[in-house]
Amino acid sequence: MQTTSRIYVAGHRGLAGSAIVRKLQSEGYENIVCKTSLELDLRDARKVDAFFQEQQIDVVFLAAARVGGIVANNEYPADFIRDNLLIQTNVIDAAYRYGVKRLLFLGSTCIYPKYAPQPMKEEYLLGGGLEPTNEPYAVAKIAGIKMCQSYNRQYGTKYISVMPTNLYGPNDNFDLHNSHVLPAMIRKFHEAKLADAPYVEIWGTGRPKREFLHADDLADACIYLMKHYESDEIINIGVGEDISIRELAEKIKDIVGYRGEIAFDPTKPDGTPRKLVDVTKLNGIGWKANISLEEGLRQTYAWYQENQGQLKTAANYRRIV
């Protein structure tokens, strides 16, 4: 991947994609191609084909996807599996047919079995049943992994698949109906602080443990892997440490400066009991995360305060970024 390579970042306005663009720009890559979903609907095979034919892309970072937390996955399962399968299929196939040299597919740690041993090694893929609350999304991501591996085997392409852990950072989705747990907490505690609310309600028991990776660390890892990794096997991207939802809530409460109580609702689903990835392979290649959770949370809350007037809402949820 040269600084003059024509690089397409699919999903450049999302959490992962925007971080990848920032990192590429900071490293001097000057030929970055970006299209909004209004300019290029990646679910439309004919439009995707025309785009690749016209643009002569060398490298692809496939970060475009329909994403969301437990609520969104429960309410829109058909949307999650359909849209992600369409996006992946159209982009990966067009990339092959128009001679893209390198492609990085962003998967997710939700591909691993619900009760996978912890920390989760790459070899655990397809080793058991998935978490029911996000199974359609996970199945789509697994299909994307297998598509990259199959094209590598049949056509000799060099497409890699990375499995990032839970992401957070600038350009995250803070909508309470469709966001993941960390940005939802930031918004809940912030609004409770402004309203002087007596308590903030958090779904579940607070016992599940999650690992959180700042989007800027993810971007750094993705670009590093595009330079140093060509294996057909998937590779995890994470920090190698996790935290309980209860501990996370306490941290965010402190950073936001909220003085009320935290009320957990055990009648709501917890999701997977624990999600910690094994990063032995990634560390062995020479990359480690640099942004601590404390530092990342403070940065993300500052960004939220500065940009909350421009955040996504439930009204534009169906729009793919």
Binding site as annotated, residues: 11-17, 106-109, 141, 164-167, 180, 188, 203, 210, 270
Cα-Cα-Cα-Cα dihedral sign, residues 209, 214, 219, 224: negative
For residue 133, with 0-12 CB atoms within 10 Å meaning exposed, 13-18 middle and 19 or more buried, which class applies?
Answer: buried
Angle ∠(186,16,174) on CA atoms, nearest 5: 25
Task: Indicate which residue of 8, 112, 137, 151 is catalytic.
Answer: 137
Which residue positions form the known binding site for NADP(+)? 11-17, 106-109, 141, 164-167, 180
Would you say 225 and 218 are in contact if contact means Cβ atoms under 8 Å apart? no
Q: Is 155 known to be catalytic?
A: no
Annotated active-site positions, please? Answer: 137
